[in-house]
């Protein structure tokens, strides 16, 4: 069952006196129940803006977002929690998402209340994220970054979401805790039948946990596919560049290939294919016409 | 101490610029480092891996004299023949920043948000190298060019938030290099970065070793990163170095069971094992 459908979504950021930034520029994506979709792409390509739009934060300029068959309407921040408990988000910074002055058990209880769950206790949830039950009476500052992120996950799960979104949920953690927390999110989401949209710049972790992978470049999804297939046979030149930049742990001492240039300014994207100024395979058509199709948005892979 | 006997540090001894021997650190009575031996050489990258809490960061901080309050230290940390642990705090301050510098996972740790990046570069140089204003500015522009920040003349007047994450980390490296240190300790310097940006930073670090003869201690959990730039690799566990050797040997034929487990737990290997329907090891990549 398709849980989330994002279709041709456009989201713009407007700052007075500055050009409009089209952070999401016609992106399409879906997540099914029980499925883990990894969203990857360089910093600034629009991953967070997309995730926030799915939560009802920010008003899309065009396109549609449907959650469980119903359109997602933009909501005021304050009303979000109650109206959209079906979608829960775990952010990069576990410090920012927990209230420092309240015991973690009380914060988890908020989620249980939202889901009208009287059978589960905060301690049960701590148990599920691999923390001792007695931590419920402690405050956020008493925990390490990794433990705090587990608490944020416990709180998100308490609301019984059908879609869990992690926006770089592991990148602020100690390197050694990253894979553990990512797996935990995957296991808990899949166990409860929820979908997981996992946003990360760490490709090897995404490979470890995602069923499907969506590659984003400058506001657009440029390639979607089953993780194993994309890994074995990346087709979009940008996907190839990304995977090619991952150094192999083979002991050979080979420096990874550099992708020349930076992500261009989304306020002034290049005409035609947005990747063309950095693409090693660029052709004439790429400079003029945008490849607006899937699953691989590239003129080399135009569907027949 | 049988674990330490597998270390092969003797083989590489000789032209070490920084030699850590039998380093023990205790905080509140708990031994965090239990006799670390490690040698860094000029122009070489020494990779340091190990699970969370094994003492990698503490080892780096000990070299810089930046251990938390109440830490008690024994052993020797010799930089070009001088024992840093027996230096007076004032002398150690002079060494730190000028001869040994550090870069962290989060560039925000190294950069002040409210100061233009140029000031952060020149202040270091004026303090440690006693350079004049104009001279320091020229050198700052030079450093920015060296770490490949476009338009360095203009860029030095900008603030950290006006750069991307990858550029901020390059600038943090430039600040670390401001006083031409002999040793750079880089603790997970690319963990927060995109792989495409990481590739650039790794090439930069490698180039600094090759061109300037810098000795680098590269702390990373990413054995791919290790494999790309490290010459020697050490692996820590519970406050001890349990394996040291040339990159190819440690990554291809690890001697220590723990190192083997670490390699098996790599996302790529774990995934391969899962795809093949076998159970992967319980040890997470560290
Ligand atoms: N400020 C501190 N006070 C007391 N103990 C500390 C402090 N910082 C770290 N420790 C302890 O020192 C040990 C080594 O920590 P260290 O930070 O060096 O680990 P690490 O190998 O860098 O781990 P990671 O991969 O998670 O960064 C751990 O047991 C840790 O709990
Ligand atoms: N509140 C905002 N106001 C203006 N521009 C923004 C805002 N948030 C993000 N942007 C811009 O939108 C683009 C996409 O940002 P973001 O969605 O945060 O990317 P990612 O999460 O992939 O790193 C970037 O160019 C960023 O600078
Ligand atoms: S459309 Fe052209 S420029 Fe764009 S990725 Fe494909 S080949 Fe490269
Ligand atoms: Mg983001
Ligand atoms: Mg550390």
SS (H, E, C) chain B: CHHHHHCCHHHHCCCEEEEEEEEEEEECCEEEEEEEEEEEECCCEEEEEECCCCCHHHHHHHHHCCCCCCEEEEEEEEECCEEHHHCCHHHHHHHHHHCEEEECCCHHHHCCCCCCHHHHHHHHHHHHCCCCHHHHHHHHHHHHHHCCCCCHHHHCCCCHHHCCHHHHHHHHHHHHHCCCCCEEEEECCCCCCCHHHHHHHHHHHHHHHHHHCCEEEEECCCHHHHHHHCCEEEEEECCEEEEEEEHHHHHHCCCCHHHHHHHHCCHHHHHHHHHCCCCCCCCCCC
Residues of A in contact with B285 (CB under 8 A): 176, 179
Q: pLDDT tens digits, chain B, 286 residues: what are they?
A: 333 333 333 444 457 899 999 999 999 889 999 999 999 999 999 999 987 778 999 999 999 988 988 899 999 999 988 999 998 888 888 888 789 999 988 888 889 999 999 999 998 888 888 899 999 999 999 999 888 788 899 999 999 988 877 788 889 999 998 988 999 999 999 887 888 888 988 998 999 999 999 999 999 988 899 999 999 999 999 999 999 999 999 999 888 887 887 777 666 665 555 555 443 333 333 3
CA of B145 to the centre of ligand 1 (A): 35
Which ligand approaches the C-alpha of residue B236 most closely? 1
Å from B86 to nearest chain A CA? 31
Residues of A in contact with B222 (CB under 8 A): 175, 204, 247, 249
Q: Which residue is closest to B53 within chain A, CA to CA?
A: A176
Contact A238, A222 (CB under 8 A): yes
Q: Within 13 Å, how many C-alpha atoms sit on residue A298's CB side? A: 23
Full-model pTM: 0.82
Nearest to A88 by CA among A49, A114, A65: A114
Interface with chain A: mutation pick from B56, B195, B229, highest number of A CBs within 10 Å: B195
Nearest CA to ligand 2 atom 24: A44
Q: Which residue is closest to B50 within chain A, CA to CA?
A: A176
What phi, psi does B263 have (nearest 5°)? Answer: -65, -40
Cβ–Cβ pairs < 8 A, chains A and B = 120
Q: Map residue A1 onto helix, strand or coil.
A: coil
* pLDDT tens digits, A182-216: 999 999 999 999 999 999 988 888 999 999 999 99
């Amino acid at each position: 069952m398709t849980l989330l459908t994002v279709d041709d979504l456009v989201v713009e950021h407007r700052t007075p006196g500055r050009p409009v930034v089209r952070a999401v520029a016609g992106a399409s994506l879906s997540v099914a129940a029980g499925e883990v979709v990894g969203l990857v792409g360089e910093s600034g390509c629009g991953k967070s803006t997309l995730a926030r739009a799915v939560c009802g934060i920010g008003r899309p300029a065009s396109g549609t977002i449907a959650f469980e068959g119903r359109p997602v309407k933009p909501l005021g921040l304050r009303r979000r929690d109650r109206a959209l408990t079906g979608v829960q988000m775990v952010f990069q910074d576990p410090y920012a998402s927990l209230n420092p002055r309240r015991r973690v058990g009380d914060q988890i209880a908020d989620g249980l209340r939202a889901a009208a769950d009287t059978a589960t206790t905060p301690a049960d949830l701590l148990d599920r994220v691999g923390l001792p039950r007695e931590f419920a009476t402690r405050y956020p500052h008493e925990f390490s970054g990794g433990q705090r992120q587990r608490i944020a996950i416990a709180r998100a799960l308490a609301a019984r979401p059908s879609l869990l979104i992690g926006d770089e949920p592991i990148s602020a953690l100690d390197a050694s805790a990253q894979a553990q927390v990512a797996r935990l999110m995957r296991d808990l989401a899949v166990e409860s039948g929820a979908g997981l949209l996992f946003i990360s710049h760490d490709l090897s972790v995404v490979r470890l946990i995602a069923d499907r992978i969506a590659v984003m470049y400058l506001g657009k999804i440029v390639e979607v596919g089953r993780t194993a297939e994309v890994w074995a046979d990346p087709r979009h030149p940008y996907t190839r560049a990304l995977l090619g930049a991952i150094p192999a742990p083979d002991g050979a001492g080979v420096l990874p290939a550099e992708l020349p240039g930076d992500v261009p300014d989304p306020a002034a994207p290049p005409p035609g294919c947005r990747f063309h100024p950095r693409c090693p395979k660029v052709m004439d058509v790429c400079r003029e016409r945008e490849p607006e199709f899937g699953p691989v948005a590239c003129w080399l892979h135009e569907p027949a | 101490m049988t674990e330490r006997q597998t270390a092969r540090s003797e083989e590489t001894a000789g032209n070490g610029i920084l030699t850590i021997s039998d380093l023990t650190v205790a905080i509140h009575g708990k031994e965090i480092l239990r006799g670390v031996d490690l040698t860094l050489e000029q122009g070489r990258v020494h990779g340091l891996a190990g699970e969370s809490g094994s003492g990698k960061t503490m080892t780096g901080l000990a070299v810089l004299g930046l251990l938390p309050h109440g830490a008690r230290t024994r052993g020797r940390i010799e930089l070009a023949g001088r024992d840093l642990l027996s230096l007076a705090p004032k002398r150690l301050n002079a060494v730190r920043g000028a001869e040994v510098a550090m870069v962290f996972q989060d560039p925000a740790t190294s950069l002040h948000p409210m100061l233009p990046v140029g000031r952060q570069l020149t202040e270091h140089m004026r303090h440690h190298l006693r350079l004049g204003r104009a001279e320091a500015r020229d050198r700052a522009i030079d450093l920015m060019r060296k770490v490949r920040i476009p338009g360095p003349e203009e860029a030095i007047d900008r603030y950290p938030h006006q750069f991307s994450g990858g550029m901020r980390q390059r600038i943090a490296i430039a600040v670390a290099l401001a006083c031409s240190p002999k040793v750079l300790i880089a603790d997970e310097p690319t963990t927060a970065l995109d792989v495409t940006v990481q590739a650039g930073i790794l090439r930069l670090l490698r180039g600094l070793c090759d061109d300037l003869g810098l000795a680098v201690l590269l702390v990373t959990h990413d054995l791919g990163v290790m494999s790309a730039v490290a010459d020697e690799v050490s692996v820590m566990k519970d406050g001890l170095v349990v394996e040291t050797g040339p990159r190819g040997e440690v990554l291809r034929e690890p001697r220590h069971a723990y190192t083997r487990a670490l390699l098996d737990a790599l996302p790529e290997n774990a995934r391969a094992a899962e795809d093949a329907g076998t159970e992967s090891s319980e040890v997470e990549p560290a």
